Amino acid sequence: MRPRVAVLGATGRMGAEAVAAVEAAADMDLVARLGSKDSLESVVDAGATHVVDLTVPGSTEANVRFAVEHGLHAVVGTTGWDESRRGRLEDLLARHTGVGVLIAPNFALGSVLATAFAATAARYFESAEIIELHHPDKADAPSGTAARTAELMTRSRSEAGREAMPDATESGLDGARGAIVGDVPVHSVRLRGLVAHQEVLFGGPGEQLTIRHDSFDRASFMPGVLLGLRTVASRPGLAYGLDAYLDLGA
């Protein structure tokens, strides 16, 4: 069935991108766009079958619960869905079988794939490091994405029984070998002109594998949002992370 989509948070920057992306998609219809002052009831009045929530942490939970209670599938890009919120939502979904919700901290397909590939490859190489590169106005180093990637790689290495990485460094300057997250060195580069970029490097005897993701623009989230809208009705219950909808086998 052709999705009839309502965008919540349509006046924000991400919401406006979503409105444009849904309108441009040939296989779904945009039936409502809501700002922060619009009533959720209008979503029902418009005959929506799906909602996209790109609002703020303070309102996303109420929005999604409203959608589920009215039998609408939801694709959610708003942050703030900690474990207790997700637990309550799963309880609600248990009483509304057939409704699907996707909550994704990251909708950029390339970034989600890069992280998944890095977690897989980490089982198979002696050495692995991460270089993340961002604009110089970023306040944290390393980036959240790099830290999460390093944690997933560390878990993969542990499951595969990998030993500590080889490193003969004896003398040097503080910081040269990066920050250690789990057991993965992470290096943060800050350059004027960049947006958000990450490179995961793996080394084994005689070979190197590199997985790089470049994010140039927030338009990168839209193919993931559309993929979510096309898939969510066939996946009842709660999915957390876009990788749940990706076919990652070769």
Question: 135 among the known binding-site residues?
Answer: yes
Shortest spacing between CB 61 and a copy of itself, in angstroms = 27
> What's the rounded Cα separation, in Å, for the pair 247 and 250?
8
The values of phi and psi at residue 152, to 5°, are -65, -40
In 104-141, which positions are buried (b, 16+ CB within 10 angstroms) versus exposed (e)? bbbbbbbbbbbbbebbebbeebeebbbbbbbeeeeeee
| Beta-bridge partners for 7 | 33, 52
Q: Report yes or no: 213 and 149 within 8 Å, Cβ to Cβ.
A: no
Question: 115 among the known binding-site residues?
Answer: no
Count how many Cα atoms sit within 13 Å of the Cα of residue 142 in the half-sphere of its side chain: 26
Tell how strand 179-181 and strand 73-76 pair up: unpaired
CA nearest 196: which of 117, 245, 121, 140?
A: 140
Question: 49 among the known binding-site residues?
Answer: no
Shortest spacing between CB 22 and a copy of itself, in angstroms = 14
| Residue 97 vs 169, nearer CB to a copy of itself | 169
| Residue 1 vs 26, nearer CB to a copy of itself | 26
Shortest spacing between CB 249 and a copy of itself, in angstroms = 6
CA nearest 130: which of 183, 171, 166, 193?
A: 183
Q: Which residues are catalytic?
A: 134, 138
Shortest spacing between CB 223 and a copy of itself, in angstroms = 5
| Residue 60 vs 115, nearer CB to a copy of itself | 115
* Tokens encoding 112: 């989600």
Question: 145 among the known binding-site residues?
Answer: yes
- Rg for the chain, CA atoms, rounded: 20
CA nearest 130: which of 176, 183, 169, 184?
A: 184
| Residue 103 vs 116, nearer CB to a copy of itself | 116
Q: Report the binding-site residues for (S)-2,3,4,5-tetrahydrodipicolinate.
A: 135, 144-145
Q: Report the binding-site residues for NADP(+).
A: 33
Q: Report the binding-site residues.
A: 9-14, 33, 77-79, 104-107, 135, 144-145
